[in-house]
Amino acid sequence: MPERLLLLAPELGRAFGETLLMLGIGLCAAAVLGGPLGVALFLAGEGGSARPRRAGQALGWLVNTVRAFPFLILVVALAPLTRVLAGTAIGPLAAAVPLSFVAVPCFAHLVEQQLREVPRGVIEAAHAMGASRLQVVTRVLLVEARSGLVLALTVLAISFLSYAAVAGVVGGGGIGDLALRHGYERFEADVMAVTVAILVALVQLIQFGGARLARRLDKR
């Protein structure tokens, strides 16, 4: 058994790298696109006129609709778009497309929740001192909520490890694909145990790093 695992070490390393690639692309898309979308959702909900509120409701409906889709169905539904963007429907880069598509609204929802946790008095004080809306967002909201935002991104990363494993089962590669081919189809329980151990260790590492960074950023 140890000899077989040693022979599989290069494949395990490649699968681990593919999982990190899928996770990294999804989290980058979440931060770059989902962060501003979450801020927009918060600001639209805070808007005093009817038009911003209607825009916020439309954005909220779109975000909730994407979040409600089962991931496997979304992978199949986005296959044509995946082929256009990645040039193929299989492999880690192809799997990163539906992962990113889900990551953006999920993180936007988490960002909106964290911004709503910022005390109203802090925001009103910034407005009273003449701060513009952009200054309120960049110098007050994001600063006050930064610890919670780090924790939100940590939660998203842990959740998307399971999504990345599922994407591997449908041709995305990574640890999920390795577990399916060796641990399930060939009944190699030792390989399955190793893949589970790798995922557990990665979850613990992400949780530890995210929690530690959030504590350092929390100035309360």
pLDDT per position as a tens digit, 142-151: 888 899 999 9
Mean pLDDT of the chain: 81
Q: Is the pLDDT of residue 186 over 90?
A: no
Domain count of the fold of the chain: 1
Residues 6+ apart with CB under 8 A from 217: 146, 147, 150
Q: Which CATH number does the domain housing residue 148 bear?
A: 1.10.3720.10
Tens-digit pLDDT profile for residues 199-214: 888 889 999 998 899 8
Determine the Cα–Cα distance for residues 1 and 9; give it in Å rounded to an integer. 12
Per-residue pLDDT of 119-134, as tens digits, reads 888 888 887 887 778 8
Give the Cα separation of 42 and 45 in Å (integer): 5
Return the residue matching tokens 């986005």: 78
Range of the domain at 92: 2-217
pLDDT band at residue 111 under the 50/70/90 scheme? very high
Confidence (pLDDT) at 171: 65
Q: Of 57 and 140, which is predicted with more confidence?
A: 140
